[in-house]
Structure formats: C-alpha cells, structure tokens
Amino acid sequence: MFGRVREALFPSRKAPVHTTTQAAQVRDKMFGGSTRAMAVAYGVSQRTVERWIKGTRTPPELSRAAERRWEKENAARARQGRPPLPRPTTSADRLANDAVRVQTTDRGRGRKARQLAQLGAFSGHTARVGRATTFNIRGSDAVRSRDVHVTLTGEQAAALALADNEDEVRVVIGQALADYFNGGPYGGFVAQDFEWDEGDFDVR
C-alpha cells in the first residue's frame, strides 16, 4: 500500500522497476553509498547486496508455499471471526518500498502535505478499498461485490504524503473508511475497526 500511495501522490517521482536500479538507488540515497550499511539493515551479506546491484541475484520474494500457508491461516481466522494477518514481507518487498521512499525528500513531502492540507474537505484524491475478498468491520465479515470508494480530505491526503510506512498508511485509510461509514445509518466507527486486503487497494 505504501508504494502505491506514495506514487499516486507524487506521480513524477516513480520508482525504478528493475531491482538492479532499485538496489543501487537505495544504497546511494538511503545508506550514503555504503554497501555494508545496507547489508546490515537488510540482514544479508555485502556480497549479496553487490549481486543485487549487478543483477546476478535478485532479492527473494515470497515463496508459493509460504503464500499458501498465509492464505490458509487467514481462511481459518476468517472462520473464527478474527481479522486477517498482513501478507508476509520479503527483502524484495522492502527493497521496492525503499526504492519508492528515496524518490522524495522530507522537505518535498512536507511542502506537498502543506499544499494538500489547504484543500479542505476535497483533496482531489480518492481511495478504493476492495470488498470482494477480505473486508472486516470490527472483526465481522463485511465482504460485498461493490468496492468502497472514499473521498480523501486535504488533511487525510496530507497525512498520506507524510506517511513513511504501511502502518501509517493503514491508519489514515482506516480513518477515511470510518468517516465514510459514520455517514450511514450506523456510527461510532474508528480507524482500527477496519481490515482489508492490502493487495486490493489503490489511491487516485
């Protein structure tokens, strides 16, 4: 979610697609060009980082077996009325997010956030949260055929511009969902009441 949000709010700052370029930019911009520092942060050897950059090895992605275990666990949790677990993250996921992260500076994000905050109730951005697979409200299944489309306020869009990880994005989108559902026949919802499939989500 973090990567999709950041690129939606900063469309001119797209992260590179190839892992070789991602790894090189992350090392240079996030770790000051230090292969050793990046290796320590990622829990791998310096040689592994060098191979990522050269393209002789790619960061590991989630195996099909691990993905099946995750899906099975979430199916069991759904039957028990428990919220789903987030998809396990890998070095490839982290590298992709870090590659997005280094495309913007703190100063640039702050400037963008101030601009968005001034837009008031309508920021011009919307979020789509899928309801076809996993969508829970207060731990109860709320799957529907129609997705939820929420209009983001200037303050919410500004918070997304400043968000630096998945958890911060989830809080903002959760609050947007709470505002949306509080406008219906029921009320009293808060951001933590909602769980959804992170893969079935986007911001425009």
Tens digits of per-residue pLDDT, 164-175? 988 899 999 999
Q: Is the pLDDT of residue 194 over 80?
A: yes
Would the pTM count as exceeding 0.85? Answer: no
Q: Is the pLDDT of residue 139 over 90?
A: no
Structure tokens at 15: 């992260």
Percent of residues, the chain, with pLDDT higher than 90: 56
How many Å apart are CA 82 and CA 140, to the nearest integer?
A: 7
Structure tokens at 107: 């100063």
Q: Which phi and psi (to 5°) does residue 141 adopt?
A: -60, 130
User: What pLDDT was estimated at residue 184?
Assistant: 64
Structural contact between residues 125 and 202, judged by C-beta atoms closer than 8 angstroms: no
Alpha-carbon distances, residue 104 vs 84, 101, 162, 193 (angstroms) = 31, 6, 11, 31
Structural contact between residues 87 and 62, judged by C-beta atoms closer than 8 angstroms: yes
Tens digits of per-residue pLDDT, 71-126? 889 888 878 877 778 888 899 999 999 999 999 999 999 999 999 999 999 999 99
